[in-house]
Amino acid sequence: MITVLFFAEIRDVIGLDRIVIKKDQITVLQLKRYFESKYPLLSFDQFMTAINESFVTDEEMIKDQDTVAFIPPVSGG
């Protein structure tokens, strides 16, 4: 099982701040495609991804128990 965190626009569209799903042993890109098929309003290509609070690339493999966060372009400060 993995935990996926949603923020900002993504959270508003999906209506949840997190979900726990059985989607390990796939790449970040595959996870993005999975969510894109469920939520066509969201374009995941423009989101960065963090696994366990570190930025990763789309090729990164997701492991069991990982926490994955999709990071829209940030606007703090």
The site for other proteins (CB under 8 A) is made up of 5, 7-9, 11-12, 43, 46-48, 50, 53, 55, 69, 71-77
Q: Which residues pair with 4 in a beta bridge?
A: 19, 68
CB of 3 to other proteins, least distance (A): 12
Query: Toward other proteins, which CB reaches closer, 30 or 52?
Result: 52
Q: How far is the CB of 70 from other proteins (least distance, A)?
A: 10
CA distance 74 to 72: 6
**Number of helical H runs and strand E runs in the chain:** 2, 7
